[in-house]
Amino acid sequence: MSFKEQVTELSKRAVSAQTIALTEEATKNALVMPFLRTLGFDVFDPSQIVPEFTADVGLKKGEKVDYAVRINDRIEYILEAKAVSANLSQAQYSQLYRYFSTTDCSIAILTNGIQIWFFTDLDAPNKLDTNPFFKFDLFDYDDNDLKELEKFHRDRFSITDIKSSANTLKRMKAAISSIEAQFNDPDDEFVRMISKGLYDGKLTSAVVSEFKPIIKRAFEDLVRQKIQKKLTAAFNDNVNIPTIKDVDSVTQLTEGGDGIETTQEEVDGFNIVRAIAAEVADISRVVMRDQKSYCGINFDDNNRKPIVRLHFNSKTKFLTIFDSDKAGARFDIVQVTDIFKAKTQIQSVIQSYIGNGG
């Protein structure tokens, strides 16, 4: 199998393992060891994988890290595993920091079997960074993520390439964060920079205040145009892509209609879900039913076959994404286009309905 196919199989395994492999040891067996196999390692060869690796730190003797990973007789990774239910952002992983400084390894990995976080020492030599430079999620990845993950494969490993990529990723995150801040609330300096080419007079505080909502709206329209381009590519030319102006073209958009207002964001969200669904099903089977507290998207216009609910009525936007057992999980987003990040989960529940005779 190709690397992409192996990761796909691992992702499928993780769907069932997340409800069964509840302990740390079970997570190691069900997900962590298969993950290391996917990266090209023989998990039963002690010259490649050393379980319970002892890393003495100062006065602390006999402390162990879950796995040390060797490439060409050198320890390149140390890996600490948590139970599949663990929230990595809240997990205690101070051991990784201590171990990293006592070995010659280049990479430290923290994982719960589904999310895999990669750390290195970009900020200070031989001192593990506080934040991971790369995060991979088996339930939420794209081709770019796969390309980054493949760099850690045993046959392709190059610490020079990885650190170069890590620096690039770090700068990209900072750039995205800065752009996102301007998107949500452009500051006066940014508004002045854009407005210079739009206004001939003096850019007083009053003028800047006047331009600020205009520039924010321009950002939003630009994003909406890009969404439309993606949707046009996903749908064939004969399928109508509804907007707020022709919202009646969507079947069963509301129930009752009393006090229900379907927003453009909800329509955009619905279209994105249909675009994602187009790869695995006839999009006419994906139907929106707007409610007062959320906007529901179901399969076959059936409330017993929920795909996703859009919660866009407050400042904090999020989705409820359902699995084959109708269990819903919260998926936070910042903007509507973030729905594309949930592609794997959305397609998975649709395929489960089709596979059950739907």
What confidence tens digit (pLDDT) does each residue in 64-80 have?
888 989 998 888 999 99
- Cα(346)–Cα(2) distance, integer angstroms: 23
Taking residues 183-189, report their average pLDDT.
87
Give the type of residue at 221.
Answer: D
Residue corresponding to tokens 């300096």: 189
- Cα(308)–Cα(96) distance, integer angstroms: 37
Q: Are the C-beta atoms of 65 and 95 separated by less than 8 Å?
A: yes
The rounded Cα 90 to chain-centroid distance in angstroms is: 18
Q: How confident is the model at residue 253 (pLDDT cuts 50, 70, 90)?
A: very low
Model pLDDT, residue 310: 93
90-137 tens-digit pLDDT: 776 677 777 787 777 889 999 999 999 999 888 888 788 888 889 999
Give the residue among 80, 106, 123 at the shortest CA–CA distance from 158.
Answer: 106
- Cα(119)–Cα(190) distance, integer angstroms: 33
- Cα(202)–Cα(212) distance, integer angstroms: 15
> In this predicted model, which residue has the larger pLDDT, 233 or 318?
318
Q: What percent of the chain has pLDDT over 70?
A: 87
Q: Does position 160 have pLDDT exceeding 50, yes or no?
A: yes
> In this predicted model, which residue has the larger pLDDT, 47 or 95?
47
| 3-state DSSP assignment of residue 104 | coil
pTM: 0.57
Average pLDDT, the chain: 82
- Does the domain formed by 3-169 have CATH 3.40.50.1100? no
Give the type of residue at 340.
Answer: F
